[in-house]
Structure 1
């Protein structure tokens, strides 16, 4: 197993351990830290193992950090004007 995949596994383990601990801010600070650390690891995985493995690691990270992804999607939909699709004015 390559070093980049070992780092990605350690990141996933840390994300799971951090999710088990209680938090006053619903884990948002931890999510920001995991995103900041995870993006370079994702780039390293993609560079070392190819785009398909990088997409798999991206999907795994998105499943662990699903609420930031959901809020990003909602923000992007509002920014593009997705209210029209829901029948809003």
Structure 2
């Protein structure tokens, strides 16, 4: 298996474990995973092919839809609610 794909599998497992944590403990690992995802998707795209990078992007957007909605609202100047 390609190293990029193996790293992607580890990323998915780490994201799943992070999602199982209580909300107050999700922030630091969640931000790290959010930052690492684009780099990983670029690596997958170059080493395996753009189709797999697009599939990974779809999975990433599905898993991180709420944080991405939050950051999108902040960029547009709105103040979204943050869960406790």
Q: TM-score, normalised by structure 2?
A: 0.75
Residue of structure 2 equivalent to 1:28: 27
User: Number of paired residues?
Assistant: 77
Q: TM-score, normalised by structure 1?
A: 0.72
Instruction: Map 1:1-89; keep pairs closer than 5 Å.
Output: 1-24=1-24, 27-75=26-74, 78=76
For structure 2, the residue ranges without an aligned partner over 5 or more in a row are: 78-84
Instruction: Give the Cα–Cα distance (whole angstroms) in 2 for the partners of residues 51 and 24 of structure 1.
Output: 35
Please report the RMSD computed on the Cα atoms of aligned residues, expressed in angstroms.
1.8
Q: Between Structure 1 and Structure 2, whose CA radius of gyration is higher?
A: 1
Aligned partners of 1:45 and 1:53 also within 8 Å: yes
For structure 1, the residue ranges without an aligned partner over 5 or more in a row are: 80-89
Q: How far does residue 7 in structure 1 lie from its aligned partner after superposition?
A: 0.6
Instruction: Give the Cα–Cα distance (whole angstroms) in 2 for the partners of residues 68 and 21 of structure 1.
Output: 15
Aligned partners of 1:12 and 1:61 also within 8 Å: no
